[in-house]
């Protein structure tokens, strides 16, 4: 398995993600970091330390006007660099592995792609408690596949049914459909819908996005966004690794129970639940002020 980790100006989060992969990844795994030309001194120092143990490729995309910077350019660079047909695990600096990936996990993942020729991506993450219940109710377990499938169809432009930036795939599967990453998670969702079946979600997840993570350094934040980060005390709230007993509980639950992060994971330091993954989530007033400031910025640009 090869892990491609994508980072930009969030050194402490990047360090945590790397350490989680070192702790949880299968033996003989490879980790390659694609950094979008971070200019934050702390992040650059952490990257230099990581480069002593893993390959770091610092590659931006000055021509791209995508709000995600060089993320999708680097994801394409990553798959173009893989010649062997091995499992690819895409992960970002604001996420981490939360338990060891076992030989049984690898066997299941390999068999999943081998037995399902139209399977493009496999999601390795938990669901969020803050997700609306009617959406969670549409994550249905398919015993013939051994995964959950999301049968929710949103009216807004969101990914997660066919594609996710944090996912597992294989180079051969992407090559078979001439896959090329394009800017935007939702745009890749539409591409995946055209080329693949719905994305499976692991019965026993191995990773999760960190809650309450700060936006990357040098991001042009609105005043409302800055206030929201301060009120929510945004920072590094890393997950404690699951114990054997935790994993046993996760794997032995009824299939009707969709795995919710807050039911199985704990943060360090402790963070009140339900967790949020965007600082504006808890305040409608700040969300409106954020939209207004962004509108004014564009109007008087």
Count of other CB atoms within 10 angstroms of residue 71: 24
Q: Decide: residue 59, CB within 10 A, 0-12 exposed, 13-18 middle, 19+ buried.
A: middle
- Nearest-angstrom CA–CA distance, 250 and 257: 10
pLDDT over 90 (residue 249): yes
CB-based contacts of 60, cutoff 8 Å, min separation 6: 36, 37, 69, 70
Paired residues of 169 in beta bridges:
88
Least confident of 32-41, 53-62, 84-93, 183-192: 53-62
Least confident of 52-56, 64-68, 178-182, 184-188: 64-68
- Nearest-angstrom CA–CA distance, 131 and 277: 11
CB-based contacts of 165, cutoff 8 Å, min separation 6: 71, 75, 90, 92, 159, 185, 188
pLDDT over 70 (residue 91): yes
- Nearest-angstrom CA–CA distance, 169 and 279: 30
pLDDT tens track for 128-149: 999 888 888 899 999 999 999 9
State both tokens at 95: 């996420």
Q: What is the pLDDT of residue 44?
A: 96
Q: What is the pLDDT of residue 218?
A: 54
**In which band, very low, low, confident or very high, does the pLDDT at 288 lie, cut at 50, 70 and 90?**
confident
Q: What is the average per-residue pLDDT within 162-167?
A: 97
Place of tokens 């992407």: 174
Q: What is the average per-residue pLDDT within 180-199?
A: 96
- Nearest-angstrom CA–CA distance, 274 and 272: 6
Rounded to 5°, angle at Cα 117 from 113 and 120: 65
Q: Are 139 and 54 in contact (CB under 8 A)?
A: no
pLDDT over 50 (residue 266): yes
Q: What is the pLDDT of residue 22?
A: 98
pLDDT tens track for 47-73: 999 999 999 998 754 444 444 458 999
pLDDT over 60 (residue 121): yes
CB-based contacts of 265, cutoff 8 Å, min separation 6: 98, 126, 208, 239, 240, 242
Q: Are 34 and 77 in contact (CB under 8 A)?
A: yes
**In which band, very low, low, confident or very high, does the pLDDT at 217 lie, cut at 50, 70 and 90?**
low
- What is the share, in percent, of the chain residues with pLDDT greater than 90? 73
If you ran DSSP here, which 8-state letter would residue 278 be given? Answer: S
Chain centroid offset of residue 83 CA = 24
Domain ranges of the chain: 2-207
Q: What is the average per-residue pLDDT within 274-281?
A: 86
* CATH 3.40.50.620 for the 2-207 domain, yes or no: no
Q: Are 82 and 171 in contact (CB under 8 A)?
A: yes
Q: What is the pLDDT of residue 279?
A: 81
| Buried-exposed string 116-141: b where 16+ CB fall within 10 A, e elsewhere | beebbbbbbbbbbbbeeeebeebbeb
Q: What is the pLDDT of residue 65?
A: 46
**In which band, very low, low, confident or very high, does the pLDDT at 156 lie, cut at 50, 70 and 90?**
confident
Paired residues of 148 in beta bridges:
141, 201
If you ran DSSP here, which 8-state letter would residue 47 be given? Answer: H
Paired residues of 202 in beta bridges:
147
pTM for the whole structure: 0.92
3-state secondary structure of 107: helix
Q: Are 142 and 149 in contact (CB under 8 A)?
A: yes
Q: Are 132 and 152 in contact (CB under 8 A)?
A: no
Rounded to 5°, angle at Cα 226 from 159 and 126: 30
Q: What is the average per-residue pLDDT within 115-135?
A: 93
Q: What is the pLDDT of residue 67?
A: 44
pLDDT over 80 (residue 43): yes
What is the overall mean pLDDT for the chain? Answer: 91
Is the omega angle on the peptide bond into residue 9 within 30 degrees of 0, that is, cis?
Answer: no
């Amino acid at each position: 398995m090869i892990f491609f980790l994508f980072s930009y100006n969030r050194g402490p989060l990047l360090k945590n993600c790397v350490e989680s992969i070192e702790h949880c990844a299968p033996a003989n795994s490879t980790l390659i970091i694609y950094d979008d030309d971070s200019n934050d001194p702390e992040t650059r120092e952490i990257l230099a330390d990581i480069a002593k143990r893993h390959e770091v490729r610092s590659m931006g995309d000055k021509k791209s006007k995508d709000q995600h910077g060089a993320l999708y350019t680097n994801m394409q660079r990553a798959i173009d660099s893989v010649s062997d047909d091995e499992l690819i695990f895409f992960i970002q600096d604001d996420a981490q592995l939360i338990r060891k990936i076992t030989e049984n996990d690898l066997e299941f993942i390999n068999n999943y792609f081998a037995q399902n020729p139209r399977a493009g991506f496999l999601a390795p993450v938990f669901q969020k408690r803050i997700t609306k219940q009617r959406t969670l109710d549409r994550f249905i377990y398919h015993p013939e596949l051994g995964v959950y499938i999301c049968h929710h169809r949103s009216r807004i432009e969101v990914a997660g049914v066919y594609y996710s930036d944090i996912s597992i795939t294989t180079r051969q599967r992407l090559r078979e459909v001439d896959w090329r990453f394009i800017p935007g998670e939702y745009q890749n969702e539409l591409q995946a819908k055209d080329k693949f079946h719905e994305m499976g979600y692991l019965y026993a997840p191995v990773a999760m996005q960190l809650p309450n993570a700060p936006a990357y350094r040098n991001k042009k934040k609105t005043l409302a966004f800055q206030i929201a980060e301060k009120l929510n005390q945004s920072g590094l709230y890393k997950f404690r690794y699951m114990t054997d007993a935790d994993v046993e509980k996760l794997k032995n639950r009824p299939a009707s129970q969709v795995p919710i992060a807050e039911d199985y994971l704990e943060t360090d330091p402790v963070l009140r639940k339900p967790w949020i993954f965007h600082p504006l989530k808890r305040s409608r007033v700040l969300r409106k002020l954020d939209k207004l400031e962004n509108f004014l910025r564009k109007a008087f640009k």
